[in-house]
């Protein structure tokens, strides 16, 4: 009879079930502590703690994704409109070229606005009546001076 054919002897066959349970609990606690230590070392090595430096890095990455997506969207929309113009009016490739350039310009302007490099125009927020009134006053002042 070889050792493979012999029934496997449990090393704890003489122990009581309570002592086996206690030993298993101890081994489980040791394993949990080793895993926790390993996770702590891994976090420390990767620098994954929520420090202000990491939070600012994440904010920078988020802003970069936002700016890049705005740029790509502007160019794609311009190209799409150009393609539609070419399809409906048969102006190929001029519609695509013109609207692609317009989309590129709009995308650059949107990115610069989002980055805070270009101020918003105050004229957009004025009511049209107020602008018209100012234009009329300006014309009457010019005619009065003559």
Contact between 107 and 80 (Cβ < 8 Å): no
Please give the model's pTM, rounded to 2 decimal places: 0.49
pLDDT-based confidence at residue 22 (cuts at 50, 70, 90): confident
pLDDT in tens, 85-138: 999 999 889 999 999 999 999 999 999 988 888 776 665 656 666 777 777 887
What are the domain boundaries of the chain? Answer: 61-145
Contact between 112 and 74 (Cβ < 8 Å): no
Residue 24 clears pLDDT 60, i.e. is over it: yes
pLDDT in tens, 39-55: 888 877 776 556 777 77
Contact between 78 and 101 (Cβ < 8 Å): yes
Contact between 78 and 108 (Cβ < 8 Å): no
Contact between 119 and 98 (Cβ < 8 Å): no
- Output Rg (C-alpha) for the chain, integer angstroms: 36
């Amino acid at each position: 009879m070889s050792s493979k054919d012999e029934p496997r002897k449990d090393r704890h066959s003489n122990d009581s079930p309570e002592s086996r349970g206690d030993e298993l609990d101890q081994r489980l606690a040791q394993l949990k502590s080793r895993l926790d230590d390993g996770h702590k070392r891994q976090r420390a090595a990767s620098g994954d703690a929520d420090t202000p430096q990491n939070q600012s890095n994440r904010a920078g990455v988020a802003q970069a994704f936002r700016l890049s997506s705005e740029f790509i969207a502007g160019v794609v929309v311009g190209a799409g409109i150009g393609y539609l113009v070419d399809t409906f009016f048969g102006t190929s490739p001029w519609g695509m070229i013109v609207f692609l350039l317009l989309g590129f310009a709009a995308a650059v302007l949107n990115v610069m606005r989002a980055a805070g490099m270009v101020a918003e125009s105050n004229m957009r927020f004025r009511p049209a009546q107020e602008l018209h009134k100012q234009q009329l006053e300006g014309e009457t002042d010019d005619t009065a001076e003559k």
